[in-house]
Amino acid sequence: MPMALRRCILLSGALSLALIVGAALTVQAAHAQESGTPQTIEEAVADEQSPVVNNDQTGTTAETTSETAIQGQSESGTDELEGDITEQPAAIDEPNIDEPNIDEPGIDEPTSIDRAYLNYPRGPGVDTPTMPAAPSMTSTPPDPLLPPPVTHLELVLDWHPGPRHAALLVADALGLFTRRGLDVKMRPPADPDIPAKLVAASRVDLALTDQATLHQLVDEGKPLIRVATLIELPLAAVVASQDSGIRSALSLIDQRVGYSTQASHDVILRAILSEERLNLSHVEARDVHFSTITAMSEGRVDALVAGSRFSLPRQLADLGVATRILPLEELGFPIHDGLIMVANVDHLAARKSSIRRFVSALQEATEWITAHPDMAWEIMVEQEPTIDSTANAEAWPNIRRRLALRPGAVDMARYRRLEHYLWEHDIIETLTPPEKLAKDPG
C-alpha cells in the first residue's frame, strides 16, 4: 500500500476518535445537567457506539470494506491514545477513615465538633474539647510524704530531777517518745505542792505526785485520775535526827516536824499520829518547802516527813547530821504507789492515744533500765548533771528495784485499801470507787 494512503487512513482514524470523544463529553454534560449525576467517559463512549436505526442506510461493498479498514486503524490508534491517557501519576493514598454511618439506626448525625476532629487520632491520651485527655503517666514527681503529726505533752515533775525519774529521763534520751510521735516537755515545779493542781486546772497535761495526794485532791473534787505508776512502792518516810530521840509516831509529841507538801501534812502526818490516838495539835508542824536538807542541818526541825528515804539520809550525813529512818508502812500507813502520773479526767478521752503511747515509752525504758542499770545511770547523769552525787548513786540500786515494770497496770485493791484507810481516819469525807481514782490507759 502506498505510504500516502496509509497516512490518510491513520489521519481518518484519529479524526474519528476525536469526534467520538467530543460527542461523549457532550452527552456526559447533558446527563449531568438533567440528573445531577456525572456520567463517566466510558458510559458516553458506549452510548455513542450503540447502533442507530437509519432507513437511508445504503452503501457498496467497497465502502463497507473501507470503513472496516478505517475502524481497525482507529482501534489501534485508540489503544495508543488510551495508553497515553491512562499513564497518569499514581494517586496519593489517603488514610482509610471509618466515617460514622448516619444511616444506621441509633447513631446520631455527627456534630460539627466531631466532624472537625474526625481525621485526627483518637484514644484516652488525646485531648479534645469533648473528651479531655486522660494522663497515661505521671508527668511530675509525687509530693514528698509528710511526717506523722507530733503530739506535744507538758509534764511537771514532783521534785527536782533525780533517780526516781529514771524512766522519764531514759525514755527521752533513747528517743522513745519521739519514735511514738510525742514531743514531751518536762520541767520541775516552782512549788512542790502544785503539780497535780496544775493538771486539775488544765494548765498542763500531766504531772507527777504520790498516791496519797491523789486521794486527797479527788476527795476535794479535783478532776484527776492516775494513768501510770513510776515507783510502785513507798518512797516517803519519817527521817528523824538521832539526837531527837524519835523512834515511833508516839515519840513525835512536842517535836518540830517539817513537811514539804500539803499531803505530807494533811494526809501522812495526820494518819500516823491517828494510829497513836494523836492529832496535829500534839506536834509543831513546819512547812519547809524545798529546804528539807537545810532545815534539818540547821536544827530548825527535829524530823521530816519526806519522800526521799533513800537519798536524804546520806545527804544529811555528808553535812554531819545522823538520822534514823521510820518507813511509813512500819508506822501503820498502807503500802501505796510511791510515784504516779496523773491526768485531767475531763480531757482523758481526747488524750487517751497520746497518754497510751507515753506509758508505752515508759515501759520500754524501764525494761531497758533493768537490763542496763549502769548505762542507765550514765544516761541520767548526762541528761541531768545535778543527779551526779554520792547520795543519788547510793540510792540508785534501791530506787531501781522499785521501778514499775508495767507502768500502766493498776492494783485496784491497793487503791481501795488506801481509800478506806483514809476515810476511816477521817482524812477524806467520801469514798471514791477505785476505778475513778486510777485507770490503765492501755
Residue 155 pLDDT exceeds 60: yes
pLDDT at position 232, please? 96
**pLDDT tens per residue, range 312-357:** 999 999 999 999 999 999 999 999 999 999 999 999 999 999 999 9
**pLDDT tens per residue, range 282-307:** 999 999 999 999 999 999 999 999 98
pLDDT at position 121, please? 60
C-alpha angle 305-306-311 in degrees, rounded to nearest 5: 140
pLDDT at position 35, please? 52
pTM recorded for the entire structure: 0.68
Residue extent(s) of CATH 3.40.190.10 domains in the chain: 151-230+340-436, 237-331
| Residue that the C-alpha cell 525514755 belongs to | 171
Q: What is the CATH number of domain 151-230+340-436?
A: 3.40.190.10
pLDDT at position 17, please? 73
pLDDT at position 117, please? 59
**pLDDT tens per residue, range 216-255:** 999 999 999 999 999 999 999 999 999 999 999 999 999 9
Superfamily of 237-331 according to CATH: Periplasmic binding protein-like II (3.40.190.10)
SS (H, E, C) the chain: CCHHHHHHHHHHHHHHHHHHHHHHHHHHHHHHHHHCCCCCHHHHHHHHHCCCCCCCCCCCHHHHHHHHHHHHHHHHHHHHHHHHHHCCCCCCCCCCCCCCCCCCCCCCCCCHHHHHCCCCCCCCCCCCCCCCCCCCCCCCCCCCCCCCCCEEEEEECCCCCCHHHHHHHHHHHCCHHHHCCEEEEEECCCCCCCHHHHHHCCCCCEEEECHHHHHHHHHCCCCEEEEEEEECCCCCEEEEEHHHCCCCCHHHCCCEEEECCHHHHHHHHHHHHHCCCCCHHHCEEEECCCCHHHHHHCCCCCEEEECCCCCHHHHHHHCCCCEEEEEHHHHCCCCCCCEEEEEEHHHCCCCHHHHHHHHHHHHHHHHHHHHCHHHHHHHHHHHCHHHCCHHHHHHHHHHHCCECCCCCCCCHHHHHHHHHHHHHCCCCCCCCCHHHCECCCC
20 pLDDT tier (thresholds 50, 70, 90): confident
**pLDDT tens per residue, range 382-436:** 999 999 999 999 999 999 999 999 999 999 999 999 999 999 999 999 999 999 9
Residue 27 pLDDT exceeds 80: no
**What average pLDDT does range 106-122 have in this prediction?**
58
